[in-house]
Amino acid sequence: MKIITVGALKGGVGKTNFTFNLGAFLSIEKEKRVLLIDLDPQGNLTQCCQLNPEKPFSMFLFQKNTLLKNIIFETHINNLSIIPVNIEAIKLEIQLNNEISREKILLSYFRENYEYLKNNYDYILIDTNPSLNITNTNAYAIANSIVLLCDNSIHSLRAIDMVFDVWTNLCQKMEIKNNIKAIVLSNFDHYKISKDFKKHLEYSNFKNFVLKQEIRKKQKFKNSEITGKPAIKLISKLENPYFNIVNELEEKGVL
């Protein structure tokens, strides 16, 4: 079982779309058992899975004695499950500020439930919101790999710079290995890449983390969210970037 957290310190770069489509690709094309965890109170990943839960279930992972069976939901896609969320998560998130060892709450929950998770899932994919709040710090800390998403704006690249710096420092403080392993260029409009963007990327210290295969901006990806029908069902094999992305993520040890 591998845990992958999808992050970025900028919103709208395609994190949720990527988490949904990667999860669906792994379950449909690779026949893997995938568990999605929606940690963004906005609940966009939950909506991709066509769910509208009454409770912020993913926040119950931060409470002792939560039974996994009670918070995991099947989706309309075979082998793809989700721990969904709703906006009430914001309230619970604030309470985490007063917890002891608050960056490692999820780590101890997963340790306690490791056998169940290992026996039932090949991959756990966690979607986050664009911040390093306590919830996300937990999701970053627990990941075997962090995959960062970046669109073709210079702001987005700067946000990657920032998360690299901040997370590297936090890892040292928490005495864990830096687990950022890949960067995916997503929601990417080839016709609008500025010279600044290319230069910034070329001289960045994360150049080698960037996958060769990018995810272009296409209406079909957007449609996948609205209809719940993932890219693997909507886009031909030739046009679908996820075949190469999965290969590259395997090479980088993420999958």
Ligand X SMILES: Nc1ncnc2c1ncn2[C@@H]1O[C@H](COP(=O)(O)OP(=O)(O)O)[C@@H](O)[C@H]1O
Please report, as ranges, the residues that interact with Mg ion according to CB under 5 A. 15-16, 44
Burial 135-144 (b: 16+ CB within 10 A, else e): bbbbbbbbbb
Q: Rounded CA gap, 21 and 14, in Å?
A: 10
Q: Which does 128 bind (CB under 5 to 8 A by kind): ligand X, Mg ion, none?
A: none
User: Which stretch, 73-81, 82-90, 173-181, 211-219, contacts ligand X (CB under 6 A)?
Assistant: 211-219
Look up tokens 């004695």; give the residue. Answer: 65
> Which residues in the 12-51 window bind ligand X by CB under 6 A?
12-17, 44
Alpha-carbon Rg for the chain, nearest whole angstrom, is 17
Closest separation between CB of residue 193 and ligand X, Å?
15
Closest separation between CB of residue 231 and ligand X, Å?
8
Q: Rounded CA gap, 103 and 40, in Å?
A: 17
Closest separation between CB of residue 85 and ligand X, Å?
13
95: helix, strand or coil: helix
Nearer to ligand X, 102 or 233 (CB): 233
Nearer to ligand X, 137 or 224 (CB): 224
> Which residues in the 44-83 window bind ligand X by CB under 6 A?
44
Q: Which does 221 bind (CB under 5 to 8 A by kind): Mg ion, ligand X, none?
A: ligand X
Is residue 11 involved in binding ligand X (CB under 6 A)?
A: yes
Pick from 189, 200, 163, 147: nearest CA to 21: 147
> Which residues in the 157-196 window bind ligand X by CB under 6 A?
186-187
Q: Rounded CA gap, 94 and 114, in Å?
A: 26
Ramachandran assignment for 150, one of left (phi > 0), alpha (psi -120 to 50 degrees), beta (any other) = beta
172: helix, strand or coil: helix
Nearer to ligand X, 11 or 174 (CB): 11
Among 33, 104, 181, 218, binds ligand X (CB under 6 A): 218
Contact 204, 183 (CB under 8 A): no
Closest separation between CB of residue 105 and ligand X, Å?
23
# residues near ligand X by CB under 6 A: 17
User: Which residues of the chain form contacts with ligand X (CB under 6 A)?
Assistant: 8, 11-17, 44, 186-187, 215, 217-218, 221-222, 225
